Amino acid sequence: MILFNRGILLIVIGNALVHGAEQYISSGLAAIMAAMVPLWMAAFSVLLFKSVKLNRLMITGLVLGFVGIVAIFSDSLDEFTNPKYTIGIIAMVAASIGWALGSVYSSLKKIEVNPIYGAGVQMLTAGIISIFIGLGIGERMNPLEMPMNGVWAVLYLAIIGSIVTYNAYMYALSKLSPTRVSIYAYINPVVAVLLGWLILDEKLNLLIGISIMITLLGVYLVNRGFSPRMIKNQESLEQPVSATDTV
């Protein structure tokens, strides 16, 4: 059941709801909402791990990181006032909570199983559930009519987004605390801005540059504020679950 629960929280809720949300809101606004993940992870870590305590450096870093992300996508902030985006915003908040809770749950419920096998089971079960959800809400697709851009996007997401990065994420959760792993949520939008500037000739001005520096400062403070003793104490409290109880 552990792998099943991970798949529900991380993939069905954490990923599928993002796809649904972006039918109503822009990707920039979605990135801002996704930057709430470290805040939720920190909250769940404090609630579920007795050894994890927030300190001033960590709180300052989390706040600075979020402020930096908001500044990067400041052009999208006016969308918050549009009532049409309410569904998308709610979906993104739910997705952030699901991903954060799934990450903390994965760290809390460590299992003695090959990480690649574990991630594969999670993606398989979550994929089957997502198919039935899609069919239930009336989604239909003819693979023969899919444009080549869509084909390449699916292949990229399947290989890079799933096989490579999801396995890497689960491995990171097995070695590091959820709060420290959560700093990826600040790095991803920064990388997106830089790649957009290099490849798509998107805007990169002084405000965005300063915002990126604020974001990186927040990441640095979170790392400095997280005591290695927290990880050691956390690991000493965790007992890996046997493989027979994982699915």
The string of pLDDT tens digits covering residues 109-140 is: 777 777 778 878 888 888 888 888 888 878 77
Tell me the HSE value of 137 on the side-chain side, using a 13 A CA sphere. Answer: 6
Nearest alpha carbon to residue 13 among 74, 87, 101 = 101
What is the arithmetic mean of pLDDT over 167-179? Answer: 78
Of the listed ranges 137-141, 167-171, 202-206, 228-232, the least confidently predicted one is: 228-232
Instruction: Say if CB 108 and CB 61 are below 8 A apart.
Output: no
Question: Mean pLDDT score of the chain, rounded to an integer?
Answer: 78
- The yes-or-no verdict on residue 107 having pLDDT over 50 is yes
CA dihedral 97, 212, 59, 101 (to 10 degrees): 20
What pLDDT is attached to residue 244?
Answer: 47
What is the arithmetic mean of pLDDT over 221-227? Answer: 71
Give the long-range contacts of residues 204-209, CB within 8 A, separation 24 or more.
207/71, 207/74, 208/71, 208/72
pLDDT band (50, 70, 90) for residue 191: confident
User: In the chain, what percentage of residues exceed pLDDT 90?
Assistant: 2
What pLDDT is attached to residue 229?
Answer: 56
- The yes-or-no verdict on residue 188 having pLDDT over 80 is no
- The yes-or-no verdict on residue 243 having pLDDT over 50 is no
Please state the φ and ψ torsions of residue 111, each to the nearest 5 degrees. Answer: -130, 150
What pLDDT is attached to residue 94?
Answer: 93
What pLDDT is attached to residue 47?
Answer: 81
pLDDT tens, position by position, 46-68: 787 776 677 888 888 888 888 88
Dist CA 231 CA 175 (whole Å): 9
What single-letter amino acid sits at 152? Answer: W
User: In the chain, what percentage of residues exceed pLDDT 70?
Assistant: 85
pTM tops 0.95, yes or no? no
- The yes-or-no verdict on residue 45 having pLDDT over 70 is yes
Dist CA 88 CA 21 (whole Å): 4
What pLDDT is attached to residue 230?
Answer: 55
What pLDDT is attached to residue 225?
Answer: 75
- The yes-or-no verdict on residue 242 having pLDDT over 50 is no
- The yes-or-no verdict on residue 236 having pLDDT over 60 is no
- The yes-or-no verdict on residue 241 having pLDDT over 60 is no
**Cα→Cα distances 181→99, 137, 153, 233, Å:** 12, 34, 26, 17
